[in-house]
Amino acid sequence: MIAPILPTYNRAPLTFTSGEGSWLVEADGRRFLDLGAGIAVNALGHAHPALVAALTGQANALWHVSNLYNIPAQQRLAEMLVDKTFADTVFFTNSGTESCELAVKMARKYWYDKGQPDRTGIITYSNSFHGRSSAGIAAAGSEKMTKGFGPLLPGFIHLEFGDLTATEAAMDDSVAAVLIEPIQGEGGIRSVSDDDLRALRALCDTHGVLLILDEVQCGMGRTGKLFAHEWAGVTPNIMMVAKGIGGGFPLGAVLATEDAASGMTAGTHGSTYGGNPLACAVGAKVMEIIADEVFLAEVGRKAGLFRQKLEGLVASHPEVFEEVRGAGLMLGLKCKVANSDLVKAGFDQGLLTVPAADNVIRLLPALNIPDADIGAAVDKLDAAARQF
């Protein structure tokens, strides 16, 4: 008999009843150090007092009005995002995959309105992840996500991740946009180098193609800058955001330049929940905390500390680990043993990590993880590695 919950998830046999900072607690009091943060969502840890206050304050005033009316918290968050990024305008969604839907629609509508309605192609890359909607799975293109769900949304051109030569060869007047994650999350913490991101930007400029960055996982301070592309000193035309921006409350966004967004006039897109007062009250507080330069510098310092300890861990367990990957607090350990076994060995030590493709375990702690918890995490990883 089918379970009451549609059986699409492989869940670990763990049930948490409360959380505090970087820790999750089971009903019997057993504590787990959380290096998954709800898959890079709880960017400020669990039960952050300022976020709890923002949410309960809004909950006591007003939950939902729809986008038929003005939403002050949405306005405030949009202004903060515009102020701190390349973007001139923001649309709020509830998830990463909804941000993908709009990014694709926006790019196609852009060219339609410029008198090039056949310019609909979107170049995407192997091992990418853009969510589970019809556009998201068609964009990623992997058999694992698409098999049985045809006919797929057409127009995606799938290339090898990081292959700039193939990208240049694919650029013709049917291409609307390039869509890429600056650091692949689900794909195994694989980064586009700063040089390659600059080269990709230049290629897009040469061919008049829009650049869409998926910063759903790598954005919102995760790399030590507000958005990962800032390290390369280039900007996209359109950017997808979600995960960390809500700090645990469902919220996503599409950021765009005025030009890239020019096709999206009144009535061309919408969302009942998108930019809801509760989500935006939390999001505005998250943004206020994370966009602060002092906070971001701290993320960079913690990341340096964590990385140094992880390099030591890899060196002392050469039979278990191959290398440390990633940037900032978006780190991966490429394993030599099965990554799923290592995740399980972590559970036994009271440690939560997240598996990814390419036999990697992801370490995506809260951005404000205390230094002592970084030390404890590496001790637990060391104890887990000793089990092999």
Q: Is 125 in the site for ligand PLP (CB under 6 A)?
A: no
Q: By C-beta, is 41 or 81 nearer to ligand PLP?
A: 41
- Does 181 bind ligand PLP (CB under 6 A)? Our answer is yes
Q: CB 251 → ligand PLP: shortest distance, Å?
A: 9
With CB under 6 A as the contact rule, the residue among 35, 122, 212, 242 that binds ligand PLP is: 242
- Comparing every residue's Cβ against ligand PLP, the nearest one is 96
Q: Phi and psi dihedrals of 385, rounded to 5? A: -65, -30
Binding-site residue total for ligand PLP (CB under 6 A)?
A: 14
Give me the residues paired with residue 362 across strands.
332, 354
Binding of residue 191 to ligand PLP (CB under 6 A): no
Cβ closer to ligand PLP: 214 or 373?
A: 214
- Applying CB under 6 A, among 137, 197, 216, 331 the residue interacting with ligand PLP is 216
**Which of 95, 223, 237, 353 forms a contact with ligand PLP (CB under 6 A)?**
95
In the bound state with ligand PLP, the residue whose beta carbon lies nearer, of 276 and 349, is 276
Hey, which residues does 135 pair with through a beta bridge?
none
Instruction: Kindly state whether residue 328 participates in binding ligand PLP, applying the rule CB under 6 A.
Output: no
Return the C-alpha torsion angle 69, 75, 78, 82, nearest 10: 130
- Which of 94-102, 111-119, 158-166, 190-198 is the region at the interface with ligand PLP (rule: CB under 6 A)? 94-102
CA dihedral 80, 84, 86, 87 (to 10 degrees): 0
Whose structure tokens read 């390290």?
231
Residue 345, number of CB atoms within 10 A of its CB = 21
DSSP-assigned states of every residue in 349-385: TTEE-EEETTTEEEE---TT--HHHHHHHHHHHHHHH
Best CA proximity match to 183, nearest among 155, 157, 215, 159: 215
**Is 129 among the residues that bind ligand PLP (CB under 6 A)?**
yes
Site string for ligand PLP, 142-161 (x = CB under 6 A): --------------------
Q: Are 249 and 55 in contact (CB under 8 A)?
A: yes
Residues 313/321, Cβ–Cβ less than 8 Å: yes
Q: Looking at 19, 96, 141, 326, which residue binds ligand PLP (CB under 6 A)?
A: 96
Rounded-to-integer distance, Cα 220 and Cα 237, Å: 17
- Shortest distance (Å) from residue 140 CB to ligand PLP: 9
Q: Check residue 42 for interaction with ligand PLP (CB under 6 A).
A: no
Q: Residue with structure tokens 């598996």?
A: 355
Binding flag, residue 189, ligand PLP (CB under 6 A): no
One of 97, 124, 223, 368 touching ligand PLP (CB under 6 A): 97
Q: Which residue(s) pair with 72 in the sheet?
A: none
185 lines the binding site for ligand PLP (CB under 6 A): yes
Q: In whole angstroms, how close is the CB of 382 to ligand PLP at the nearest point?
A: 28
Task: Measure the CA–CA gap between 24 and 41, rounded to whole angstroms.
Answer: 14
- Work out which of 21, 36, 45, 131 binds ligand PLP, going by CB under 6 A: 131
DSSP string, 27-73: TT--EEEESSHHHHT-TT-BT-HHHHHHHHHHHHH-S---TTS--HH
Q: Is 249 in the site for ligand PLP (CB under 6 A)?
A: no
If the CB atoms of residues 125 and 129 are measured against ligand PLP, the closer one turns out to be: 129
Query: Which of residues 130, 302, 307, 317 is near ligand PLP by CB under 6 A?
Result: 130
Do 161 and 153 touch, CB atoms closer than 8 A? no
Does residue number 223 form part of the binding site for ligand PLP (CB under 6 A)? no
Please report, as ranges, the residues that interact with ligand PLP according to CB under 6 A: 95-97, 129-131, 181, 185-186, 214, 216-217, 242-243
